[in-house]
Amino acid sequence: MQWETVIGLEVHLQLATRSKIFSGSATDFGAEPNTQASAVDLAMPGMLPVLNEQAVRYAVMFGLGIDAHIGMRSVFDRKNYFYPDLPKGYQISQFSDPIVGAGQFEIQLEDGSSKQIGITRAHLEEDAGKSLHEDFHGMSGIDLNRAGTPLLEIVSEPDIRSAAEAVAYLKTLHSLVTYLGISDGNMAEGSMRCDINISLRPMGSEKLGTRAEIKNVNSFRFVERAIRHEFERQADILESGGRIVQETRLYDADRDETRPMRSKEVANDYRYFPEPDLLPVVIDEQYVAEIRKSLPELPADKRQRFIEQHQLSAYDAGVLVDSPALADYYEQVVAACGDAKIAANWVQVELRGQLNKNELAIEASPVSANSLGQLITRILDNSISGKIAKQVFEAMWQGEDSADEIIEARGLKQVSDSGALEAMVDQVIADNAAQVTQFLEADDGKRKKLVGFFVGQVMKVSKGQANPQMVNKLLAEKLK
């Protein structure tokens, strides 16, 4: 049987506020345990939550970024369950009246096509603390630094059909929230965590199958693997005539498998009710309009602009707008050199290659956008060839001076002096009589291939500095 995978994702996005959603404690990652936990975070008796306005603002920014309905009156609810890292015994969340309603955005797939994914809702809530089960000799440690960190839970429609689409969705989401500046999107630090709802149905069927929920998957790679694994598991069950049990499962990255969570780990009645310690959040049109005005250019718009303005392919534009810093860098290179296409090539191939190899973010690039632009200018004005440019770039990456200084200091300037080039061409023709004969006897098709040999020889003689266009022209004249 051919199975169709139906996937909906719930992403818990950590918002980049400086303080927690209901207290003044800092939200920095990696602090000593319990040093960022106030009386409110510890749920000391009599303590009360006060909503962080910045979290509301970020949620509205997200809502506007996906063209969603904004909840002008949203309500916080208590979600009740007992766990030691949940100090109040309830999580403050939003249940029936979320701050962001239905919206959608377009994801870019690897093959260059795109797809609309519906967003059901996004709501604000607080994160729990962490339970640490190792190192305490049969006891558990509780770190409440994370308790109260603001989260935006983004719930998608079951519009996703494959692991690749799920990853594309997450990457698009990651890009959007990074552009908006509402989250650092650091998955390794848990800033973006994902629950996967997945079911199978016979290809062509409209009816949804029974789903399993895979909790707390925290990297693109694990999402992909968890979905692939879960697909196999469910397909095996269905094909052997079994039925899928609706349940919550855990992805174990070490064993690369999903397994059911113990029933104790899953509360089934959260007894939601409106949080009486907080008033409903009421915002007005003016507040929304002011936020709308302050939004940066979003990745989808920027991609479209790159395609139109810089004549880039959808794929290239997609790669370059991936992060706002990369897009800005690219546009600076364009401004410095004036050639959008060559700039795109250099940024994508040479620069990103080096960045990836050295695991550096674009912000940490040792070659500035202006320097790279200057280097490209030297290719464009025929001072150096593309090949030499790569050498220069390598030197720049190692921290040497500007392109011009490197070219000057190493004498890499391209030889475009026709007299000097003619001498080199003559020498190569004289030294390779056999190849010349072969060339002259060949037909036009073969000649095209053979001419490369002579070009290569001239480049060798010139130590790579000969102007290739001129060499080609001279060879064409001499080899008649």
Partner 1 sequence: MHTQTVAQLIQGLRDKRFSSVELTRHFCARITELNPVYNAFITVNEAAALTAAAAADERLAKGDAAALTGIPLAHKDIFCTQGLRTSCGSKMLDNFVPPYSATVIERFQGAGTVNLGKTNLDEFAMGSSNENSYYGPVKNPWDTKTVPGGSSGGSAAAVAAMMAPAATGTDTGGSIRQPAAFCGITGLKPTYGRVSRLGMVAYASSLDQGGPMAHTAEDCAILLNAMAGHDPLDSTSANVATEDYTAGLEKPLNGLRIGLPRQFFGDGLDAATGECINAALQELERQGATLVDITLPHSELTIPAYYIIAPAEASTNLSRFDGVRYGHRCESPQDLHDLYTRTREEGFGDEVKRRILVGTYALSAGYYDAYYKKAQQARRLIHGDFMTAFEQVDVIVGPTTPGPAFALGAKTDDPVAMYLEDVYTLAVNLAGLPGMSVPAGLVHGKPVGMQLIGPHFAESRLLNVAHRFQQATDWHTQTPQTGGDA
Nearest to 299 by CA among 314, 281, 277, 279: 314
Contact between 146 and partner 1 (CB under 8 A)? no
By beta-carbon proximity to partner 1, the closer residue of 144 and 177 is: 144
CA angle 267, 155, 148 (to 5 degrees): 60
Please state the closest distance from residue 18 (CB atom) to partner 1, in A.
18
Contact between 463 and partner 1 (CB under 8 A)? no
By beta-carbon proximity to partner 1, the closer residue of 46 and 445 is: 46
Pairing of strands 212-217, 247-252: parallel
Residue among 28, 35, 44, 448 that touches partner 1 (CB under 8 A): 44
Residue among 2, 30, 46, 381 that touches partner 1 (CB under 8 A): 46
Nearest to 62 by CA among 140, 169, 153, 190: 153
> Tokens 């060879």, residue?
475
> Three-state SS for 280?
coil
Contact between 399 and partner 1 (CB under 8 A)? no
Contact between 90 and partner 1 (CB under 8 A)? yes
Residue among 45, 399, 411, 445 that touches partner 1 (CB under 8 A): 45
Please state the closest distance from residue 63 (CB atom) to partner 1, in A.
22
Contact between 150 and partner 1 (CB under 8 A)? no
The mark string for 251-270 relative to partner 1 (x by CB under 8 A, - otherwise) is: -------------x----x-
DSSP E strand boundaries for 294-361: none
Nearest to 128 by CA among 21, 225, 230, 28: 21
Residue among 276, 399, 411, 445 that touches partner 1 (CB under 8 A): 276
β-partners of residue 124 are 152
By beta-carbon proximity to partner 1, the closer residue of 88 and 229 is: 88
- C-alpha span between 172 and 64 (Å, rounded): 15
Record the tokens describing residue 129, joined without a space. Answer: 């603390």
Contact between 280 and partner 1 (CB under 8 A)? no
Give the DSSP letter string of 95-155: -SS-SB-SEEEEEE-TTS-EEEEEEEEEEEEE---EEE-SSSTTS-EEE-SSTT-EEEEEE
By beta-carbon proximity to partner 1, the closer residue of 90 and 393 is: 90
Could you give the C-alpha distances from 255 to 222, 228, 277, 345, in angstroms and in order?
11, 14, 43, 40
Contact between 279 and partner 1 (CB under 8 A)? yes
Contact between 273 and partner 1 (CB under 8 A)? yes
Contact between 1 and partner 1 (CB under 8 A)? no
The site that binds partner 1 (CB under 8 A) totals a number of residues, namely 29
Residue among 18, 73, 161, 271 that touches partner 1 (CB under 8 A): 271
Query: Could you list the residues that contact partner 1 (CB under 8 A)?
Result: 39, 42-51, 78, 80, 82, 84, 87-90, 142, 264, 269, 271-273, 276-279
